[in-house]
Amino acid sequence: MAKTIVDIMAMKEKGTKITMLTAYDATMARLLDDCGVDMLLVGDSLGMVVLGYDSTVPVTMEDMLHHAAAVRRGAPEAFVVGDMPYGSYQTGIRDAVKNALRFIKEAGCDCVKLEGGRKVVPIVAELVQSGVSVVGHLGLTPQTASQLGGYKVQGKDLAAAKTMLEDALVLQDAGAFCLVLECVPEELAKIITAKLHIPTIGIGAGAACDGQVLVLNDMLGMFTNFLPRFVKRYQELAPLMRQGVEEYIAEVRSGAFPAKKQSFQSNTDYSPLI
């Protein structure tokens, strides 16, 4: 059965950890859905792991909608989160609502995610008012990483930790039903998780969060440009993929592929064509 916001929120109450992975295409989304992942995030990490940019900043609404729709087609059961790209909600509440509704109407997403604390509260409130469910995102917010001094752990001193906790509470009050905490000390993530009635999903935020998310290409060892400390590699697919591709190249060159088995045969006498 397709998952709903009620199912996701109930998991916190029951103490069942929520599993979230990123997905960008229908083939992988189907596989993850079959495995039983609760939530699929069509993250703007798309820009870095699929589109080849060196940050998430250049990703557009059209990029996101294209991939989010593919993920939705592949995954009928999982709860699909569309990540609002940089520039799609910073230009005003009307733009934010218009773009969020596109994720729901055109791509079939179940909700949207956007980065930021108190500054985005009016946007979150308006989206929820418009019927769009919202996941917040605090801690390291990659779209504004340059303002944070780079890709660094956030909330390390008491003042920053207090600000993050307050931001979490105001996002919850504005109607966010779930919160991603990225690169946050585990002690702080634990406090935020305990103070909220909505679930937290951690990435580099320790084990006390109500759920975990990883970038699929990182955890399967397909994206090998760099490895953030919080990633655990559950597979090393890149060498296997390389081996398969190199074997294919060698067999095409040698004539070993395609063999009879991968070719079609006919009883027709084609000799008049020679």
Q: Does 84 bind ligand KIV (CB under 6 A)?
A: no
**Which residues 196-215 are close enough to bind ligand KIV by CB under 6 A?**
203, 213, 215
**Which residues 10-39 are close enough to bind ligand KIV by CB under 6 A?**
22
Q: Say if CB 75 and CB 30 are below 8 A apart.
A: yes
Which is nearer to ligand KIV, 33 or 86 (by Cβ)?
Answer: 86
Question: Using CB under 6 A, which of 28, 37, 41, 68 touches ligand KIV?
Answer: 41
CB of 175 to ligand KIV, least distance (A): 20
Buried b (16+ CB within 10 A) or exposed e, 207-217: ebbbbbbbbbb
Secondary structure class of 236 (helix, strand, coil): coil
Residue 105 CB-half CA count within 13 A: 8
Per-residue CA distances from 190 to 9, 45, 185, 186, 208 (Å): 17, 25, 9, 6, 5
Question: Using CB under 6 A, which of 38, 63, 83, 210 touches ligand KIV?
Answer: 83
Which is nearer to ligand KIV, 61 or 215 (by Cβ)?
Answer: 215
Q: Is 115 a catalytic residue?
A: no
**Which residues 110-169 are close enough to bind ligand KIV by CB under 6 A?**
none
Of 36, 27, 90, 47, the C-alpha closest to 223 is 47
Q: Say if CB 74 and CB 29 are below 8 A apart.
A: yes
The active-site residue out of 62, 182, 187, 251 is: 182
Which is nearer to ligand KIV, 174 or 209 (by Cβ)?
Answer: 209
Token pair listed for 28: 């992988």
Question: Using CB under 6 A, which of 8, 28, 43, 218 touches ligand KIV?
Answer: 43
Q: Does 180 bind ligand KIV (CB under 6 A)?
A: yes
Q: Alpha-carbon distance 88 to 95, whole Å?
A: 7
Token pair listed for 138: 């605090």
Q: In this structure, which amino acid lies at residue 77?
A: E
CB of 65 to ligand KIV, least distance (A): 15
CB of 171 to ligand KIV, least distance (A): 15
Residues engaged in binding ligand KIV (CB under 6 A): 22, 41, 43-45, 83, 180, 182, 203, 213, 215
Catalytic center residues: 182
